[in-house]
Amino acid sequence: MKTRTLILGLLFSTHLGPTPAAAISSSESQPAEPDEGTTPAAFDGERAAPPELSGDLTLSEVLSATLKGSPRLAAYSWEVRASEAKVLQATLRPNPELSLSPENFVGSGAFGDQVQYQNTLQLSQLIELGDKRELRTRAAAAAQDRVRVEYESTRVEVLGTATVDFIEVVSAQEEVRLAKLALAQAEELVRAVERRTKASIGSPLEDKRARILVARAGSSLRAATRSLQVSKQQLVANWGSRGADVRSASGDLFGTHPLPPLEVLFARVDGAPERQAAAAEEKVRAAEAALARSRSVSDVVVSGAWRQGRNWDDQTVVAGVSFPLKIFDRAQGDIVASDAQVEKSKVETRSVEVRLRAVVFALYQEIVQAKEVTDGMAKEIVPRTEEAMVLARTGFAQGVYSQLELLDAQRTLIEVRLEHIQAGAKYHRLVAEIEKLLGTPL
């Protein structure tokens, strides 16, 4: 089966658009997809040490490191080798048998004194009929193809997980920035209250409120910082690293992209990794069913022997042919069982198709909703909330608005920006999930 080209670095780099700091560009070099019939690059037995990335990471760098160092992908080096060995084993013919049979070397009467002693040296060979070796090889080759399809499916899943973890880091960074902004606003409020107090227009209650706000903002910042560290650790675990000095992840959390029609995504279900895995399983079951039918055909054992009597002058050649009579055991049970497995695999393939379409539909609706929310927050809600905050801050400084009105404006701005972060992260996570499901970019 032709290996599908899934350069997942390009696939997932469309999530987080270019930023002034570092653009996630599709022109960056990506790991090449292995050709059909070759062992993937990750399958080279001894794997190098996990790559250690540091500094400002892009999504392309994360995906490249994941391909090189993923512990899950490393296990497939041995799985592929095992499948290749099974194909080799399936092509081998049965071994011949060599036997030595001394006869009449102990006895009495006519068999005494080794008068009728003789040795028989026999060579026997099992000849498989019913195309057993060819069908056995086909079944092993189908199982090998299934392993490769499973590798592709796992590869997509691993890269999709790394993408989601990258999004989580970007999202956590934005929450840390927001927490720092909240703390800065709270500290600014404390200074403003102090100025009002000196001017005899403030009150001790305003000061207490402002300082409580500072304490809460500081606690939120510490919690956000810890969450960011956890997200970074989860990210580097994708390529088998136990720790890395990752300063930041570069990506635009709030950028969205046009969505293709739903019918286009439905058309891609047949090429989805899970659907391909189900089809590969179906081929394996069909090959095993054909092999089970071949077992109803009797094999033949051909033998030839050299027999030597008591004296070296007494020699002869013996030949024989034997084969079992398929009277009782004609592999009836194995044939029925294998046919049942074939039908089961067909039903499971159809079930996968139906489920994938349902999941794609649900994810698509969620993506549309998340995109609308993200775009709406960026175009209207966040700018208006920021304008309200400016008015409240200016009015409080001029004595037009009360501290409670300023606190309400600050709280609303923080909540709106947090909702914007969550909406953007949700949008990109959903896009990563549907691309992981289909194995292709939107």
Query: Average pLDDT of each block of 10 consecutive residues along the chain (442 residues)?
Result: 35 38 30 40 50 79 90 86 93 93 66 67 92 94 94 92 94 94 87 73 77 90 94 90 77 91 94 94 95 92 85 81 88 93 95 96 96 94 92 83 84 92 95 93 84
Q: What is the pLDDT, as a whole number, of residue 50? A: 63
Q: What is the pLDDT, as a whole number, of residue 186? A: 87
Q: What is the pLDDT, as a whole number, of residue 45? A: 44
Closest CA to 192 of 413, 403, 410: 403
Interatomic CA distance for residues 397 and 2, integer angstroms: 69
Q: Are 141 and 149 in contact (CB under 8 A)?
A: no
Q: What is the pLDDT, as a whole number, of residue 231? A: 92
Sign of the CA dihedral running 315, 321, 327, 331: positive
Q: What is the pLDDT, as a whole number, of residue 8? A: 36
Q: What is the pLDDT, as a whole number, of residue 327? A: 87
Residue 371: count of CB within 10 angstroms of its CB: 20
Q: What is the pLDDT, as a whole number, of residue 141? A: 95
Q: Are 277 and 345 in contact (CB under 8 A)?
A: no
Q: What is the pLDDT, as a whole number, of residue 32? A: 36
Q: Are 31 and 179 in contact (CB under 8 A)?
A: no
Q: Are 419 and 382 in contact (CB under 8 A)?
A: no
CA angle 46, 51, 53 (to 5 degrees): 175
**DSSP code per residue over 362-415:** HHHHHHHHHHHHHHHIIIIIHHHHHHHHHHHHHHHHTTSS-HHHHHHHHHHHHH
Q: Are 442 and 435 in contact (CB under 8 A)?
A: yes
Domains of the chain by residue range = 55-107+116-438
CATH architecture of 55-107+116-438: Up-down Bundle (1.20)
Interatomic CA distance for residues 363 and 434, integer angstroms: 7
Q: What is the pLDDT, as a whole number, of residue 188? A: 83
Phi, psi of 56 (to 5 degrees): -90, 115
Closest CA to 61 of 228, 246, 242, 227: 246
Q: What is the pLDDT, as a whole number, of residue 282? A: 95
- 304 alpha carbon, distance to own chain's centre: 56
Q: What is the pLDDT, as a whole number, of residue 104? A: 67
